Chains A and B, each alone.
Chain A
Amino acid sequence: MKRATRFGILTFLLGALVLLGVSRMQLEAQTPTKPGPTAIQIQMIEGEEIKLPPDFQMALYENLVQEVRRTGKFQQVYRDGDKRAAEVPDLVTLRSTVRGFKEGSARAREVTTVAGATHIKVHVELAGHDGKVLLNRDVEGKVRFFGENLRATYDFAKKVAKLLQQSS
């Protein structure tokens, strides 16, 4: 008798748990998920106090455009100054400001593989159409082992693209 009661309670509890789980899943399925922005405009990389060489600035910008495109998160990726972006209602804007860099040495990297890393620190800000800041972060581009300083620009772009991919 005692055993039967225990079994009954256990079955009831298990049933209740299953029912709860199912109803929660149904609720989640019914709740409409807010769609993310479909378009992004990437502004030219600026340097507030840092005077960045034009080739480095361009490499950062071009790599950023390519990497954001590659994520596939946005249907449209607009470049700085693109007039078509003004017509997009759910456009977000990505602004990047170089905060500093530490020049390494490609030769030292080749010889030691540990010394001579180049770092570039960039502040990125993603803002909505209404000006509301959606993402505000410092991102560091590095080239540690082999390769020219150009690789630091690629590393930065990849990190920003990943950040955007992860952000809602």
Chain B
Amino acid sequence: MSRPARVLSLYLFWLLTWPIYSGYAQDEIAAPRAQLVLGLETVKPNAKGKLILADGALRFDAGKANGQIPIAAIEDVFTGDDSRRAVGGTLGTLAMFAPYGGGRFLSLFRSKIDVLTIKYRDANGALHGAIFSMPKGEAAKVKARLVGQGAHVSIPVEAEGQSEKPQPEKKP
């Protein structure tokens, strides 16, 4: 095959396959390595896969099985750090002295991994919760991406990574 013919065939190949690639380009990988702890009815617990943002939904792709949560149906998203902040406030500290260990923070896992909890409702209004685990530091990024696409949250993403001490206000 002559050089111009080769260039032309490559160009034609690119032209024909471009729509497919552009379709995939809309799929944004939110977390390349995630594990479903529980909560998706179509995927078995402990399945490993990746979290993908596509077509207004968060999809968990675990090879043969996959499940998805429409972003519009999401009521709240929590990372492990959100949970610690929510429990470790003043109320939590006071309750720590209560019998049966009230205020101490009870985590599902040891802190080596990050946990992302998604609270959502289906078409019938039924409450669901999906829990994913992923490498440390990933959950906050996924939450930020979900918020960016319109997911509701009770703890804003801006609070992520903020120190517990409030910043002093600058006087005008």
> In the complex, which range does the number of interface residues on chain B fall in?
35 or more
Which residue of chain A is the closest to B84 with respect to CB atoms?
A53
CB distance from A129 to the nearest CB of B (A): 19
- What residues on A are CB-neighbors of B86 within 8 Å? 51, 53-54
Pairwise interchain contact A82-B105, C-beta atoms closer than 8 A? no
Assuming the A-B contacts A44-B127, A55-B80, are A50 and B108 also in contact, with contact meaning beta carbons closer than 8 angstroms in the complex?
A: no
Cβ-Cβ contact count across A and B, 8 Å cutoff? 113
A52 within 8 Å of B (CB atoms): yes
- What residues on A are CB-neighbors of B117 within 8 Å? 54-55, 58
Pairwise interchain contact A55-B83, C-beta atoms closer than 8 A? yes
A99 within 8 Å of B (CB atoms): yes
Considering the chains assembled together, what is the distance between the CA atoms of A61 and B130 in angstroms?
11
> In the complex, which range does the number of interface residues on chain A fall in?
35 or more
Contact partner of A53 (CB less than 8 A), chosen from B99, B100, B101, B107, is B107
Pairwise interchain contact A79-B127, C-beta atoms closer than 8 A? yes
Pairwise interchain contact B131-A101, C-beta atoms closer than 8 A? no
Considering the chains assembled together, what is the distance between the CA atoms of A54 and B80 in angstroms?
9
CB distance from B107 to the nearest CB of A (A): 6
Binding site for A on B (CB under 8 A): 37-39, 76, 78, 80, 82-84, 86-87, 89, 91-92, 95, 98-110, 115, 117, 119, 121, 124-131
